[in-house]
Chain A
């Protein structure tokens, strides 16, 4: 069975600082991995996805993630946080016929 574990339910960073949100996955098949963002009272928006091409994946809003098979990780980073990045972030992995989500990490941006 496939699953993801997000480390840290809340992460706080200062505006302009590096953002690092951690995700580890478990998959019995070659994984397809995703990061989604959810703003308050909205649905989920796809930030980026890994589908077995390049291991460094660039997404929208300056985010990127690196697939590391040896560490079973797919951490999300952004070099410089902006106030508008405050939201809930979900790591996800493909299941048999659906996407399986982690529990989420709420990102707080400190002025």
Chain B
């Protein structure tokens, strides 16, 4: 597609519910990143894929967070047993190159997760 597509745009979950957030990167983009943006804060790194390999998951806040990119294109971020502190905008970004930081990223519009 022309841009990075994220779905759903908004998600309301009851505390304890599992959620799955989808990211469809730009076709052919090798690198894919997930960030968490709390209200009034900058994006915080969660995890990074190069093709299907998850090379860095150091930013995942707990073992309730899990991300996958099985075929090297679409990625899913799953949050189990959601808690109120998980409420945030989850941003996905992709980049053509392996040295993604050099080129910058293309971001999706994000998924706003509200846990009630």
Contacts and interface: CB of A to CB of B under 8 A. Distances in A.
A90 B43 CA distance: 9
B42 A98 contact: no
B42 A97 contact: no
B109 A43 contact: yes
Contacts of A45: 107
Contact of B56 (A42, A43, A44, A98): A98
A63 to B, nearest CB: 14
Interface residues of B, number: 24
B48 A97 contact: yes
B14 to A, nearest CB: 23
Nearest to A104: B42
Nearest to A51: B102
Interface in B94-116: 100-102, 104-110
Interface of B: 4, 33, 35, 40-45, 48, 55-56, 91, 93, 100-102, 104-110
19 contacts: A36-B107, A41-B109, A43-B110, A44-B107, A49-B104, A90-B42, A90-B43, A94-B102, A97-B55, A97-B100, A98-B48, A98-B56, A99-B45, A99-B101, A99-B105, A101-B35, A101-B43, A103-B41, A104-B40
